[in-house]
Amino acid sequence: MRVEVPLKSVFKKGTIAKIKHTTSWPSVKPIAKVISKETEIPEPLWKLAQWMAKYYAAPLQKVLKSFIPVNIRKEVKQKTQIFLKVAKTHNECIKAIEELRIKNPKQAQVLEEILNSSKGIFLTDLEGSKSSVTTLLKKKFITSQSITTDDDLLLEEEFFRTSPKTLNDEQETCLNAIVQSMQKKQFSAHLIYGVTGSGKTEVYMQAIAHALEKNQSAIMLVPEVSLTSQTIERFKARFSQKIAILHHRRSLGERTTAWEDLKRGDAKLVIGARSALFCPAQNLGLIIVDEEHDSSYKQSDEMPCYHGRDTAVMRAHFENCAIIMGSATPSIESRYNAQVGKYHYHELKKRATSALLPSVKIIDMKRAFELAGGFTHFSDELLRGIKKRLQEGEQTLLFLNRRGYHRMQTCASCRHVMKCPHCDLSLTYHKEAHLLQCHLCDYKQVAPRNCPNCQSAESLQFKGFGTEHVERTLHAIFPEIRTLRMDRDTTTKKHSHEDLFKQFRAHKADVLIGTQMIAKGFHFPSVTLVGVLNTDATLCIPDFRSPEQVFQLITQVAGRSGRAQLPGEVIIQTFLPDHPTIHLAAAQDYPAFFKAEIEERSTFGYPPFCHLIKLLFTDLDPKVAQEKAEKARSSLKLKAPTQVLPVTPSGHAKVKDLYRFQFLIKTDKIGPIIDQLKSIEAKIDVDPLSTFF
């Protein structure tokens, strides 16, 4: 129950966690207001919230925010929006656009924008002239409707019904073991290691079908919003039951409706990002964590700094149900848990369609620079590969984990670097907007014409490159090439992920250029070439997880190639061609990588052979921030073998005007330490994914 209570001279909202009939207090103030009686948390979820508060050293009130719908917490009313769709056939619209480009370019732009949106577009998302909308409505080229934000546009689409596919022997063995454990109605954890394209999703769907047949609910977690639209399409085509969708890109009304459908039992299947884990699914029989290795499952920006995968395991434990975790590159921790018998382990070593894994080449970019006579984005091998795909009507995917045009702007005369005034980070140049932008706090400024330090107008230069620069360079080399770019800059609108995905699937582009979001589970049958432009920077970060992150990225993005009947090829460009991580990723040899990595972590005592706790302290004054950290460190009374490492500046030493200092605790057991941490004012991150940033 959500209530409002008087605290001194103000009123505060809170959640009633427990009711006592007696009290030792001499007097008790009355509740000022009952906000909602509809927030009773089921017993398994209440146990989960208590576990999270204890394990992640977070206040219970902060934890409970994830379990209570936003509309109840904030008392926000649903809104209506104007939604626009084309009213003519595709060919009629194309003809009209060509005519309007001559007579009225603004109307042509708006009509083209609405046409290119797969389902239509909200008026508020329209980039073109709003006044042109009225004219296009009068001409009956488009239609408009006023809809509430709980209308689900994607789920209203028609889908061709699909039937369960025939499983190969590996898939069938895996599914049978999972179904047997589900029938026992008790906790069981399953880790599926399946090479890219091995048919893990088909195993998921058939396991879900078993749960639904028993009138049980299932939760399907995906790491990125960009994956939900593809997952929804496949699941909606398979299952006739109502599907609830939960992630932060959905409107308040949509999330509220999904939450209520689950609570009433009207929806038995939920698909979403990590926050979907806390939904009130009734009679839960199965939880699935797809791409369980993905860093998106970890909440690091605020407390509780929980990991969605580990928290999902605990929910399955409290619900007495099965959980499946799947990946082509399982996290070292999960694979180790399987090795020691905590998880059931299943392997899918061959692709479900009998397609072969792609061939992989490692290109030494030092040699490529020598051959090109200087800097180049693309080695000769990669350019030949792209040209071949253009000639044969196949598609290419180019991966670079850096958005923007140039990485930084500097002065050659005085060596000054244009930095964010609020963060300890150089500003990235975005050419389309002609702005320098901070990728930590989103600060923007116009790129200067003169150096602000020495006033030189001749010596300003740009260094480094991002996805925007790669796209422009590609058009300079191949003038007729059709490209799409998928990064944070091109996916700001509500349905932008699925629009880009559908355009590429429909072969409206020859090349898709993107950051790590394109490496996560997408299925593009016509992609036969993947180019990994550069992942070296991550290997240079002083963090014990860096090799694992690079191996996962390369293996995952390489897995987008040759997934259908056409053979695939992967070209990895690197300045570190002899690095063992690069070689193991090129060989797509996860077992060998795990063996090498687990031995190294055992030697140096890193997870999974210990737990890490990171405490981060911030202040507007760097000296005060450091003093806070030193004082907290010295106050801890911990016994061996627990170690408290020295205070150091964070990898991002300043963010949003706050200076950051941190220290790490290495321990075998977290429980005995948590009580000491509760009195410390810091951001506490248990099992952090990064020890550097």
* 3-state SS assignment for residue 165: coil
Residue 426 forms part of a structural domain: no
Residues 368 and 515 in one domain: yes
Together in a domain, 538 and 680: no
pLDDT at 525 over 80: yes
Look at residue 637 and tell me if it is in a domain: yes
Q: What is the pLDDT of residue 156?
A: 47
Structure tokens at 23: 């009290």
**pTM assigned to the model:** 0.86
Which DSSP category does 29 fall into? P
365/327 same-domain check: no
Question: What's the burial of 266, exposed, middle or buried (CB within 10 Å: 0-12/13-18/19+)?
Answer: middle
Task: Identify the pLDDT of residue 78.
Answer: 52
Are residue 262 and residue 334 in the same domain, yes or no? yes
- For residue 176, being part of any structural domain is answered with yes
382 and 322 housed in the same domain: no
| Spatial contact of 262 and 286, defined as CB atoms under 8 Å apart | no
Domain count of the chain? 5
Cis before residue 42, ω within 30 degrees of 0?
A: no
Whether residue 277 is contained in a domain is answered as yes
Domain identity same for 178 and 271? yes
Q: Quote the CA–CA distance of 623 and 620 in Å, as a whole number.
A: 9
Q: What is the pLDDT of residues 632-672, one digit of tens each?
A: 999 999 988 999 999 999 999 999 999 999 999 999 999 88
Give the mean model confidence (pLDDT) for residues 73-101.
78
Q: Which residue range(s) make up the domain with 20?
A: 1-37
For 155-176, what is each residue's pLDDT tens digit? 445 456 688 999 999 999 999 9
User: Does residue 47 lie in a domain region?
Assistant: no
The phi-psi region of residue 400 (left if phi > 0; otherwise alpha if psi is between -120 and 50; otherwise beta) is: beta
Do 184 and 115 share a structural domain?
Answer: no
Q: Residue 478 maps to which CATH number? A: 3.40.50.300
Does residue 391 sit within a domain? yes
Kindly state whether residue 10 falls inside one of the protein's structural domains.
yes
- pLDDT over threshold 50, residue 573: yes
139 domain residue, yes or no: yes
Confidence grade of residue 151 (pLDDT, cut at 50, 70, 90): very low
Identity of the highest mean pLDDT range in 82-91, 545-554, 633-642: 545-554
Question: Which segments of 277-427 are extended strands (E)?
Answer: 284-290, 322-327, 344-348, 359-364, 395-400, 408-411
Cα–Cα distance for residue pair 403/469, rounded to 1 Å:
9
What CATH number does residue 645 fall under? 3.30.70
Question: What is the distance between the alpha carbons of residues 48 and 311, in angstroms, rounded to a whole number?
Answer: 8
175 in the same domain as 104: no
- Residues linked to residue 666 through DSSP beta bridges, in sequence order: 612, 643
130 against 457, higher pLDDT: 457
Point out the least confidently predicted range of 76-85, 209-218, 601-610. 76-85
Q: In the chain, helix, strand, coil percent, each to 5?
A: 35, 25, 40
* Last residue of one domain, picked from the residues 348, 370, 386: 348
Are both 471 and 559 inside the same structural domain?
A: yes
Residue that finishes a domain, picked among 597, 626, 659: 597
Please determine, for residue 392, whether its predicted confidence score (pLDDT) is greater than 90: yes
Q: Where are the alpha helices (DSSP H) in 104-198?
A: 105-116, 131-138, 169-183
Q: CB count, 10 Å around CB of 226? A: 23
Among the three residues 563, 597, 631, which one is the final residue of a domain in this structure?
597
Q: Which of 85-94, 219-228, 247-256, 332-341 has the highest mean pLDDT?
A: 332-341
For the stretch 378-382, contacts whose Cβ atoms lie closer than 8 Å and that sit 24 or more positions apart, written own/partner, are 378/473, 378/477, 378/531, 378/533, 378/573, 379/571, 379/573, 381/571, 382/531, 382/571, 382/573
Q: Quick one: 217 and 285 in the same domain?
A: yes
Q: Which has the minimum average pLDDT: 26-30, 257-261, 362-366?
A: 26-30
Write the CB contacts of 300 (distance below 8 Å, at least 6 apart in sequence).
685, 688, 689, 690
pLDDT at 71: 54
363 with 497, same domain: the answer is: yes
Least confident of 11-15, 346-350, 410-414, 565-569: 11-15
Do 26 and 99 have their domain in common?
no
Give me the phi and psi of 648, to 5 degrees please. Answer: -140, 155
For residue range 292-350, list pLDDT tens digits in order: 999 999 999 999 999 999 999 999 999 999 999 999 999 999 999 999 999 999 999 99
